[in-house]
Amino acid sequence: MKKSLLLIVVLLSCITSSYAQSKNPSFEEVLSLRQAGTPILSPDGKHFFYSLSATDWNKNRYDSELWLSKDGQAPFQLTNTLEGSSFGAEWSPNGEWISFLTKREKKTQLHLIRVAGGEAFPITNVEGNIGGYEWSPDGTTIIFTMTPAEEKEDKKRKEKFGAFEVDDNEYKLAGLYQIAVDPDQPKPSDLPCYDKKDATAQAWDCIEWPKPDTLIKSGELAIRNFSWSPDGKHIAFSHTPDPLINSFFNADISLMDVSTKKWETLIANASADFFEKWSPDGKAFLYSSSEDNRTSNYYENGKFFIYTVGDKKSRRIAADFDEDMFGMEWKPSGLFARANLRTTTRLLKIDTKSGQVKIVEGLPSQVNGFTLSKKGDRIAFAAADGKSLREIYTASTSDFKAKQQTNFTAQLADWKVAQSEVIQWKSKDGAEIEGILHKPVDYDANKKYPLLVVIHGGPTGVDRPAPVLTYVYPVVQWLNKGALVLRVNYRGSAGYGADFRALNVRNLGVGDAWDVLSGVDHLAEKGLIDTEKMGCMGWSQGGYISAFLTTNTDRFKAFSVGAGISNWMTYYVNTDIHPFTRQYLEATPWSDEAIYKKTSPMTNINAAKTPTLIQHGEFDRRVPVANAYELVQGLRDVGVESKLIIYKGFGHGITKPKERLAAVMHNWEWFNRHVFGE
């Protein structure tokens, strides 16, 4: 009897083990994966919190709330905003409070919650929406930007003339304000507020919300970012004449004396200058600059400088590091940053004296974001390794021996997920290209597989190994259906140096197509794929490359063009980022029509043969929807099967779960029919 029971247990164990690795997740399950943001470490380094994104299918939204870990214990949910999200959270300087932004009534206001426990409560009740903010070093004050509420003149104009918009003129300039922080301040509801004319009125003043003090009036300039000096006497801030997206070229850096509210501009190069971080002693600050470059800073490396306040001099650092750096943190333990290096994202330490950059070794290959304690002796970061979802880690900066604090990857425990491999090949012109080849868990080396190519946006994006992709392409389901998926880091991608990012200047589409097609050739030569069953897709710049391929090759059975550019000439006059086109094509349509034709998918529309699905957001400003209508009409005119789907109410991305599910389904059905013959 005991032997029989043991045999049953063993058999059940085997069945359970086999089942645990055999589930093909649904589209909804993939879109419902919970994902953590960057952990924010407490000033003393003992605690951290992070935002956690979850899917609310009933309300068709993604909800982001704060989770807190105290003294290394398991994280627990800290906030719960029923109709919105909690975001923009910071520690108070003494580590007793966490502040965050949320819109729980009519406007976005600052809230506090005690780390020791209790409910969150608002500490502001201002007329406009609060944008960015920062605590003063002593914790008594918060500075913040606020967009003004609709003014009387705006209402009068609407009443008289209705609704109209003057191009590049419909914006409001946020002001900079400071407000005292007192967690124990009484609320207006604590006492009744009587009409003083009433004979029964009591002898007290009405309790009012604290009033903000204006540092920079609304309407003066567009404040891009700002930061208190460590002694709390000054505020450094970046600013532009207006908040329009292309005005970043005109960003300068100024310094305000808080006591007098007077400020002076310190850094004013011909192109973009942005404040980054104060030095721990407050005697200097780090800033990034394009200096006088207004023609290629979309794809060249950013430059970093240290400005000494005393002598008003700048010196460049990290000049020999051939990649963009971002996410700077400057603490007594050093200056840290991140950078994309090929298919990894690494943590860097920069020597502020020599300017040399060193990679911090021993961490997971994809460091997604990090923060440091006040002294810089502790670090918290989010990271993945290509086989896991993003997890939270903590470590000492003396040895960087990381301790994993979360286990979000457990969500994939019984899923069949992607097996990722980094591969390399030579493109048509000899350029070395990398890509991520995803294989199914039951991959058979003796079999030739259908191939789906997924192309990232950017062009300065980058693809990395990952177990699951969660946007609008059902990658895991295709793998489990019996296909390979290739994601190409084509020329222009981040992580490979400035020269590589410049390889598609005046060669957009053309060189990118070389990189995709040579990757397909590489797999075909190795005997991995069935070249009669191939599809290609991408979003944004990836959508443009897919559109270019659909009019320039018939090697694929189907394409999907997501928010893609179809004609650079019409794109140029409709997009909100005209300088992007001028920089990459080094011309306007009026100065060099030939380069616009060479790189436009519509130029060779008469050669198109491949069925093409087109997906686009209704209100896309980055790649206006006219691009979708132009491409679909051209394909229809030449007799190519095509289908256009407009996602109502969206801009450049699909940001709600139900519409994202629809986009996944549309791609699934399109490629299943044309590639798999279903």
Q: With beta carbons less than 8 A apart as the criterion, state whether 244 and 221 touch.
A: no
Fold classification of 415-674 (topology level): Rossmann fold (3.40.50)
Work out the average pLDDT over 376-392. 96
Q: Which DSSP category does 23 fall into?
A: B
Q: One-letter amino acid identity for 146? A: M
Bridge-partner residues for 339, per DSSP? 346
Query: Model pTM?
Result: 0.93
Per-chain mean pLDDT for the chain: 93
Where helices occur in 135-215 by DSSP H, the ranges are 152-161
pLDDT, tens only, 174-226: 899 999 999 988 888 888 887 666 666 566 778 888 899 999 998 889 999 99
pLDDT, tens only, 292-304: 999 999 999 999 9
- The DSSP line for 261-303 is TEEEEEE--SS-EEEEEE-TTSSEEEEEE-TT--SSTTTSPPE
Work out the average pLDDT over 28-48. 97
pLDDT, tens only, 114-147: 999 889 999 999 988 999 999 999 999 999 999 8
pLDDT, tens only, 455-512: 999 999 999 999 999 899 999 999 999 999 999 999 999 999 999 999 999 999 999 9
Residue 328 has pLDDT above 90, yes or no: yes
- The DSSP line for 473-529 is S-HHHHHHHH-EEEEEE-TT-TTS-HHHHTTTTT-TTHHHHHHHHHHHHHHHHTT-E
Domain ranges of the chain: 322-413, 415-674
Measure the CA angle with vertex 255, ends 249 and 256; round to 5°. Answer: 130
Q: With beta carbons less than 8 A apart as the criterion, state whether 548 and 509 touch.
A: yes
State residue 60 phi and psi, 5-degree precision: 50, 60
Nearest Cα neighbor of 672 from 524, 531, 478 is 478
At 65 the three-state DSSP class reads strand
416: Cβ–Cβ under 8 A, 6 or more apart, which residues?
A: 21, 22, 23, 24, 25, 440, 441, 442, 476, 479, 480
Tokens found for residue 142: 């918060």
Q: How far is CA 185 from CA 94, 111, 311, 320, 329, in A?
A: 18, 13, 42, 52, 33
Work out the average pLDDT over 352-373. 96
Residue 459: cis peptide before it, omega within 30 degrees of 0: yes
pLDDT, tens only, 552-602: 999 999 999 999 999 999 999 999 999 999 999 999 999 999 999 999 999
Residue 3 has pLDDT above 70, yes or no: no
Work out the average pLDDT over 1-23. 42
